[in-house]
């Protein structure tokens, strides 16, 4: 399938992503810079496999501001191998946000993210604005995209996550999300591109110092404006390992 040439919007999104990635590793941020290297047996994004059900590596860098007038601000970037339209690309995601100080064990969060796919897949670049509520063991978030995965469809994604500790190292966790297309027309006329799509994830995690292991079962209904193949498996077990520096 021939992909369309990158639009001015795609080039702007790519530029913003590069700016946030550069900011995340700037000398001024190194004192509080964190990095995580991980591998997933299947790169699943909101229940959809973006790796053709194959293993995928990821690298994330993040900088949190703990003191001063910018306390509560964070920014970062991640690199992930993604498979889009029967080819492999590098997905770069930059993000930035702000979390308020806890009050009654709850904080409010707001921010945005921008994702860029390299080479001729940049037509799938997209951005999101999000806001949510964070508690010690659960979170709620609402995200809005004006052009989800470059599919010319506006979407709203609502999700809820929670976890419960079993001991000092083990925990169980769960996630539920719903993607709702609210406006626009899909550029390729893909089937079910305007159908609401729900996804869920439940699993167990184990942490020891900088190492974190997870095993989760994830599933999703059909529909939604995604560039991945619609014939892929809707459910899968996913094993993940991550090491933080």
Structural contact between residues 216 and 186, judged by C-beta atoms closer than 8 angstroms: no
Query: What's the Rg (C-alpha) of the chain?
Result: 18
Whether 79 has a pLDDT exceeding 90, the answer reads yes
Whether 189 has a pLDDT exceeding 90, the answer reads no
Q: Diameter of the chain by CA atoms?
A: 53
Whether 227 has a pLDDT exceeding 70, the answer reads no
Whether 105 has a pLDDT exceeding 50, the answer reads yes
User: What pLDDT band is residue 224 in, cutting at 50, 70 and 90?
Assistant: confident
Q: What string of H, E and C letters represents the secondary structure of the chain? A: CCCCCCCHHHHHHHHHHHHHHHHHCCHHHHHHEEEEEEEECCCEECCEECCCCCCEEEEEEEEECCCCCCCCEEEEEEEEEEEECCEEEEEEEEEEEEECCCECCEEEEEEEEEEEECHHHHHHCEEEEEEEEECCCEEEEEEEECCHHHCCEEEEEEEEEEEEECCCCEEEEEEEEEEEEEEECCCCCCCCCCCCEEEEEEEEEEEECCEEEEEEEEEECCCCCCCCCCCCCCEEEEEEEEEEC
pTM: 0.83
The residue with greater pLDDT, 216 or 189, is: 216
Q: What is the model's pLDDT at position 137?
A: 95
> What is the average pLDDT across 38-65?
93
Q: What is the model's pLDDT at position 190?
A: 58
Tell me what percent of the residues of the chain surpass a pLDDT of 90: 59
Structural contact between residues 245 and 210, judged by C-beta atoms closer than 8 angstroms: yes
Whether 106 has a pLDDT exceeding 50, the answer reads yes
Q: What is the model's pLDDT at position 191?
A: 55
User: What pLDDT band is residue 193 in, cutting at 50, 70 and 90?
Assistant: low
> What is the average pLDDT across 70-80?
94
């Amino acid at each position: 399938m021939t992909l369309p040439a990158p639009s001015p919007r795609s080039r702007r999104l790519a530029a913003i992503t590069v700016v946030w990635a550069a900011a995340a590793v700037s000398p001024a941020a190194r004192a509080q810079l964190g990095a995580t290297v991980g591998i997933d047996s299947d790169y699943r994004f909101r229940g959809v496999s973006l790796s053709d059900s194959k293993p995928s590596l990821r690298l994330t860098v993040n900088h949190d501001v703990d003191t001063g007038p910018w306390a509560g601000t964070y920014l970062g970037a991640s690199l992930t191998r993604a498979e889009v339209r029967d080819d492999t690309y590098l997905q770069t995601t930059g993000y930035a946000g702000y979390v308020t100080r806890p009050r009654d064990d709850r904080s409010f969060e707001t921010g945005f993210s921008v994702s860029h796919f390299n080479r001729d897949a940049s037509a799938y670049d997209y951005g999101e604005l999000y806001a949510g509520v964070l508690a010690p063991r659960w979170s709620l978030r609402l995200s809005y995209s004006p052009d989800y995965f470059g599919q010319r469809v506006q979407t709203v994604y609502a999700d809820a996550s929670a976890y419960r500790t079993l001991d000092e190292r083990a925990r169980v966790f769960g996630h539920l999300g719903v993607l709702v297309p609210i406006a626009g027309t899909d550029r390729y006329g893909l089937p079910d591109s305007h159908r609401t799509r729900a996804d869920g994830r439940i699993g167990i995690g184990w942490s020891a110092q900088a190492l974190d292991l997870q095993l989760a079962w994830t599933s999703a209904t059909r529909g939604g404006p995604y560039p991945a193949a619609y014939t892929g498996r809707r459910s899968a077990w996913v094993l993940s390992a991550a090491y933080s520096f």
